[in-house]
Structure 1
Amino acid sequence: MTGQLSELASEAYVFGFPLVFNGEQILRLTTSGIGTLPSASFNSFSHARALASPRDTFVSINNDTVYSIAPVDLSVGPVLLSVPEAGDRYYVLQFVDAWTNNFAYVGTRATGNRRGDFLLVPPEWEGGPEAEGVTVIRFPTRIAVIVGRWACDGEEDLPAVEELQNSLTLTPIRKSLTPPQGVPVVAGGLSEALDFFERLRVWALAFPPAERDRAALDSYGELGLTSAYTVAEAPAEVREALEVGYAAGKQALQMAVRSGDGPYVNNWLVNLHMFDYNLDFFEVGTLDDPAWKHADPKTRYATRAAAALAGLWGNHGYEAAYFFTYLDAAGDALTGEHTYALRLHPTPPVGAFWSITMYDLPNFYLVENQAARYSIGDRTRGIVYDDDGGLTITMSATRPADEKAAANWLPAPQGEFRPILRLYAPKQELVDGTYEVPAIERVV
């Protein structure tokens, strides 16, 4: 019986990981902030005023855009989002619910760059006069995160970005002295595993999943995860199973992140569909299209959990595609002990821009380096193209002696690493696989 409960607990860990991890990051944002993003109260934006650096300890954070992130809590009723005129600058506001479903997009691709107003409403909202003349965005869960990214062309472009950030507002429609409910407090103080499952129990009650996922949640009732009683009050046999299941689920999830859930092309994991697990909530800017839905119930929860661990708050592939690799052309692990070259000819076809960002392992954090360069792409100043128009990028832990290689250098850590190729507004050749990213070749 204990073995069956442990296996069930392992499944519950994978099922609940996105909710718990996301909730922890929301709490982090509303209390201490995240890296250079200062803390923000619910229904207000936290603006980064600089491009990300290794100080920003957040999984797979990007160095292409400046962030504006808002924790939103609609316990106060509808909230009006106002966005400024953005000119010809690429930006996206991505809406992520408590279970990490991307359920709406506002921005260049989705709604254009004109000034606009959007009414954010809670799941139970039944309509009202406040919706007149504005686009309504219904939230699947009471809380959600708006993850804003503004394209930024270096330090000198930051003042213009800041002006846009300051024009981005959230305004509750109903005046009240009652503060937002926020994320329910979970005391903790047990073991790592039991604290995790207690957060899952409490937060799943506060933020119910999609209707199709409720049967899965209910199946964990034997573990006390749908109970009004705390995990600490569960029988010893159940608590033991939760400990064992937590360890097994955590290990399985880490292996899933390594193996990925997409095709490998030249040892790149082509993750066009990493965030396609949302099957139920399609507001403005999303594509309610079978081509962008991960419908397999046997793998969907694992895909969702792996996406949260490796790239929390990542976009759908039609907004921004993410290609990962851990391996060189020979299938060996990428490591700072060697020097590598990636030759792009032609460079990736995108509607906005592309970049490759370097991350360490196992944290997926940006890598400190002497050049203070964390990514390289088509907007990087000073890069040198090959005579035929291609681009050769050098990846190594030490600065190349050759000046051309140094101009195109993406610094790596001493240990193993994982680059991510980001493709903003990917063109059809990327989506259908006509364009292939070549393998990274070991040079030395």
Structure 2
Amino acid sequence: MMNTEKLTTPIGDFEFTLGGYPTQESAQKLFDALDFQRACQAYLDFMPAMSMYSLLEGQEKGWGCKECSDLAVAADLLTATPLVLTGNTESIYFACNVDLKKDGPTVVEIPPQVLGMANDAYFRYVIDFGMAGPDQGQGGKYLLLPPDYKGDVPEGYFVAQSRTYRVWVMARASQKISGMGEQALKWYGDHCAVYPLKDGYRSPNVRNCGSLSADTTHPNDLQYFVNLDKVIQYEPTAAFAPEQLGLLRSLGIEKGKTFDPDERMKQILDTAAKTGLGMARAIAYQSREPEAQVYPDRKWEYIFVGGSHEFLRNGVRNLDARTLFHFAVICVTPAMVNKMVGVGSQYMSAYKDADGNYLDGGKNYQLHLPPNIPVNNFWSVTLYDPGTRSLLQTDQPKPSVNSFDQPKQNPDGSYDLYFGPSAPAGKERNWVQTVPGKGWFAYIRLYGPLQPFFDQTWKPDDIVKV
């Protein structure tokens, strides 16, 4: 009589015979489970790359960023029309797509008094531009080198070598520096240029894109893995860890080989992407990381959990911190994490009210900001859609209140802001509209944060339902 061992688990029952051999049926069920688990992990592990792929693709399709010299400028500020992960409604952005495989070493001429950075195809930090970069706000010429570049490096540039061929370049200027509208377009055209080093200077093709439709969010179905294969085929193998590539190989994604999953694997990958989305939402909106909390007595959370733009501490990667960030945010730079008093930028997010309930677009809320908001430049409070992680789409021109709006102050210099479907009487300047039936979350941004933010002698109240 054959001895059969039965294993009962949350993912099914499995049988083993003759002291350890899985039955054919159990082996297939275990392989299905293994492939599904690996696909879920790949979804989470490669979210930085898929966010960057979708950002570059969205900019190309929606904003015409086909060559490195095509500069997308939000000359009239970013609106909620394009889907851009937690973009702000105050800065005059410019962005472009750089391809170092196609163009070779590429020059980026940066205007004065901006904050910006270059990020690679895995959304890793390459270099800062502007006030947090080596030009220290004076502007200057940067040279981005391909990962495999072995040639001479000319003098006169701030030089950085990318680990990938495709690079995203972005900088943002204050309205006070660049102006707005046609003035901003001219300012960027006069002070900014991106071009292949081998071609020499090329005038930028500047387009006003802040209100143009574009979708820079990644898919959450089988297409996620189709796009991921494109990245693996295009970028150098050395850009990724062997363990990462091994994970993808087990799913049929391998450099130099055609990605052609059968119907079984397509179903597994599609379901894993949808499940991975659910996991990412749990990680972002129900964080179990103690370090996510900015204040022990408030609901505000960090977007860079752990204080590292690489999500590292003592050589250990915080995987949930990485997912939390890349699910909702773009722009990776130490300037968003490091204590840079009066220079960098700091961010706080809130998904829940003071009672611990998710923020609901059908209800009314109030946020009190104590006097003397500690900024050298400006502050803002912006609302986002938890589904798209992009600006909340409402009847208002923008879902935010900021210091440029000159909202009404209380006699002591503090501010009370209001969120809800309708403005409280007389509070219109301090009100942001929300949508019944849809949730929302808020970011506080401090540009040029001052010491009271870092030592927490200044801190915002919780958002309170009224």
Query: 1:7-42 CA distances to partner (integer Å, 9 max, x unpaired)?
Result: 111111111222123212212212332xxxx54423
Q: What code does the residue aligned with 2:303 have?
A: N
The residue that corresponds to 1:248 in the other structure is: 275
* Counterparts in 2 of 1:368 and 1:193: CA distance versus 1, 3 Å: closer
Equivalent residue for 2:99?
Answer: 73
Task: Point out the more displaced range, 335-344 or 191-200.
Answer: 191-200
| Distance (Å, rounded) in 1 between the aligned partners of 2:415 and 2:451 | 21
Cα 1:122–1:23 shift into 2, 3 Å: same
1:372 aligned onto 2:397: yes
In 1, are the aligned partners of 2:408 and 2:429 still within 8 Å (CA)? yes
1:106–1:375 Cα change, 3 Å:
same
2:382 matched to 1:357? yes
Aligned residues: 402
Matched, 1:30 2:45: no
- Three-state SS of the structure 2 residue aligned to 1:81 is strand
Q: Are residues 384 and 240 of structure 1, via their aligned partners in 2, closer, same or farther at CA, if it must alter by over 3 Å?
A: closer
CA RMSD of aligned residues (A): 2.9
Q: Does 1:308 align with 2:326?
A: yes
Contact 2:80 2:391 in 1 (8 A): yes
Contact 2:89 2:398 in 1 (8 A): no
Aligned residue for 1:299? 318
Give the AA of the match of 1:216: Q
* 1:267 aligned residue: 299
Q: Is the 8 A contact 2:309 2:337 kept in 1?
A: no
Matched residue SS, 1:407: helix
Pair 1:422 & 2:445 matched? yes
Q: What CA deviation, in whole Å up to 9, does each residue of 1:322-370 have, x standing for no partner? A: 2111211111222232222111113432232211012233223333445
- AA of the residue aligned to 1:397: P
1:80 to 1:314, Cα distance in 2 relative to 1, 3 A? closer
Q: What is the CA-CA distance between 1:45 and the residue it aligns to?
A: 1.7
Q: Does 1:406 align with 2:428?
A: yes
Post-superposition CA distance 1:217-274 (Å, at most 9, x none):
3233222222543332x45554443234323222211221212451253111122448
Whether 2:168 is the aligned partner of 1:145: answer yes
Tell me the amino acid that sits aligned with residue 318 of structure 2.
T
The residue type paired with residue 304 of structure 1 is R
Aligned counterpart, 1:384: 408
User: Scaled by the length of structure 1, what TM-score is found?
Assistant: 0.81
Partner of 2:235: 207
- Determine the C-alpha separation between the residues in 2 that align with 1:327 and 1:67: 29
Equivalent residue, structure 2, for 1:97:
120
Task: Classify 1:424/1:77 alpha carbon distance in 2 versus 1 (closer, same or farther; 3 Å).
Answer: same
Matched letter for residue 23 of structure 1: Y
Distance of aligned partners of 1:398 and 1:156 in 2 relative to their CA distance in 1, 3 Å threshold: farther
> Partner letter of residue 258 of structure 1?
Y
CA distance in 2, matches of 1:255, 1:148: 31
| Residue 185 (structure 2) aligns with | 162
Q: Distance in 1 between matches of 2:67 and 2:74?
A: 15
| Superposition deviation, residue 54 in structure 1 | 2.0
Question: For 2:60 and 2:429, how far apart are their aligned partners in 1?
Answer: 39
Find 1:120's aligned residue among 135, 144, 147: 144
Q: Show structure 2 runs of 5+ residues with no match.
A: 1-30, 201-218, 339-343
Kept in 1, the 8 Å contact 2:284–2:327? The answer is yes
- Shift of the alpha carbon at 1:212? 7.2
Of 242, 257, 282, 1:229 maps to 257
Identity %: 20
Question: Distance in 1 between the 2:172 and 2:226 partners?
Answer: 33
Distance of aligned partners of 1:385 and 1:105 in 2 relative to their CA distance in 1, 3 Å threshold = same
Q: SS of 1:5's equivalent? A: helix
CA contact (8 A) 2:303 2:324 kept: no
Check conservation: 2:106, 2:194, Cα contact below 8 A. yes
Aligned residue for 2:375, secondary structure, equals coil
Q: 1:211 to 1:56 in 2, by over 3 A?
A: closer
Q: State the structure with bigger RCO (CA 8 A, min sep 6), 1 or 2.
A: 1
Aligned in 2, Cα 1:48/1:407: closer, same or farther, shift over 3 Å?
closer
> Partner amino acid for 2:424?
P
Distance 2:53 2:368 in 1: 40
In the other structure, the counterpart of 1:184 is none
The amino acid that maps onto 2:347 is: Y
Q: Which residue of 1 aligns with 2:418?
A: 394
Report the alpha carbon displacement of residue 199 of structure 1 after superposing the two structures with TM: 2.1
Q: Distance in 1 between matches of 2:256 and 2:228?
A: 12
- Report the secondary structure of 2:250's partner residue: helix
Q: Which moved more, 1:316-325 or 1:68-77?
A: 316-325
